[in-house]
Structure 1
Amino acid sequence: MYFDDHPPPHVHVKLRDGRDCIVDLNSFEIQGRVAAREIREALDWIRARQSVLLEQWHRNHA
């Protein structure tokens, strides 16, 4: 998550090979050239912490 980033609330996920994507914190939609299976662990982590991440997003983007 970056401060002063654009809406909607999202987090960035970067893979070891340098590719990256954005995961929407409300819908878990993935934007970028990454398949869900490639970031399964990250998606599980994001889902488990969704409320905390959304709270942090709103606090840092007010």
Structure 2
Amino acid sequence: MMGKATTKLSDETYQMSPDYIIISAGYQTTTAKIGVVSGKFTQIWKKSGNSYLIYHDEYEMN
């Protein structure tokens, strides 16, 4: 859909508790077909056994 793309992250923040990891950052994706797409995202990862799974994923595009 977008063709070949590269993404750069900015303003990354990480918060961690024993059972959760919260990651927030801005992004800028340059695509072959659409051009530049940018925005920000937040992900919450929840511990499940010995690994983490995405519990919540939220993003917005400018």
Q: Say which one has the larger Rg.
A: 2
TM-score, normalised relative to structure 2:
0.29
- TM-score with structure 1 setting the length: 0.29
Give 1 or 2: higher helix fraction: 1
Specify which structure has the higher proportion of strand.
2
